[in-house]
Amino acid sequence: GESVGLHLPTLSVQEGDNSIINCAYSNSASDYFIWYKQESGKGPQFIIDIRSNMDKRQGQRVTVLLNKTVKHLSLQIAATQPGDSAVYFCAENEEYSGGGADGLTFGKGTHLIIQP
Amino acid sequence: DVKVTQSSRYLVKRTGEKVFLECVQDMDHENMFWYRQDPGLGLRLIYFSYDVKMKEKGDIPEGYSVSREKKERFSLILESASTNQTSMYLCASSPLPTGEQYFGPGTRLTVT
């Protein structure tokens, strides 16, 4: 499958600051995007998702932005807290790819480090 | 609350051994997935299943097989374990063919 990637392997921010994690994707047919958070020793946990008919979606302290023109996805975390330290993955698939199930294509992940 | 469980958190096996990794979900999901996670490579899809007894190859199926005899259980099998199969293995399930997947805690397998 086509690749989904992240721009930075590590991002270090001060506690209380806002974080922005970026992701580029290459499959122009992708129409569903999702962000996962993975803490050490745990499986990925859903944060937020967005479909291609939207360019912005907000959750609690998180916002996902989608720019289909340049195939770019970002996750913004407001007022970062120590508990936000984790690896963040973007993932995508084609929601209407022909009827069958399909795995997500994951980026390589960005390690978010919160400094006190 | 959704729950995906995996039979072991840590597993150490010898080269050539047959290895079974079990995954169970209690959400009545049709679709189940096996990924492996390696540093610098992210998560890569090994196999998935969209129904009982149905299976599809993912991106890296070589050296693996799967079994889905019951809806809630999806097993990953390493017929003859090799050192390059040392990895974190993650199972996931989803109610829809595409979209959000729910992950288990992972099994860290070491093949010596």
Considering only residues A1 and A96, tell me which one the structure prediction assigns the higher pLDDT: A96
Question: Residue B106: its pLDDT value, please?
Answer: 96
Would you say residue A1 has pLDDT above 50? no
Whether residue B45 is contained in a domain is answered as yes
Whether residue B110 is contained in a domain is answered as no
Tell me the pLDDT tens digit for each residue of A52-92.
999 999 999 999 999 999 999 999 999 999 999 999 999 99
Instruction: Among A42, A97, A101, select the one facing B105 at the smallest CB separation.
Output: A42
Question: Degrees (nearest 5) of the Cα angle A10, A15, A21?
Answer: 35
Would you say residue A102 has pLDDT above 80? no
- State the average pLDDT over residues B69-79: 97
Whether residue B108 is contained in a domain is answered as no
Domain count for chain B: 1
Give the CATH number for residue B36: 2.60.40.10
Whether residue B112 is contained in a domain is answered as no
Considering only residues B98 and A67, tell me which one the structure prediction assigns the higher pLDDT: A67
Q: Give the pLDDT band of residue A95 (cuts 50, 70, 90).
A: low
Instruction: Among B30, B42, B105, select the one facing A43 at the smallest CB separation.
Output: B105
What separation, in Å, do the N-terminal and C-terminal C-alpha atoms of chain A show?
A: 40
CATH, domain range A4-95+104-115:
2.60.40.10
Whether residue B111 is contained in a domain is answered as no
Contact residues, A window 3-42, toward B, CB-based 8 Å cutoff? 32, 34, 36, 41-42
Q: What residue numbers bound the domain in which B92 lies?
A: 4-103
- State the average pLDDT over residues B58-72: 96
Whether residue B61 is contained in a domain is answered as yes
Q: Are strands B10-13 and B102-103 parallel, antiparallel or unpaired?
A: unpaired
Chain A residues near residue B100 by CB distance under 8 angstroms: 34, 46, 49
- Per the CB < 8 A criterion, the answer to whether B84 and B78 are in contact is no
Would you say residue B103 has pLDDT above 90? yes
Question: Residue A99: its pLDDT value, please?
Answer: 46
Considering only residues A28 and A55, tell me which one the structure prediction assigns the higher pLDDT: A55
What's the rounded Cα separation, in Å, for the pair B76 and B66? Answer: 5
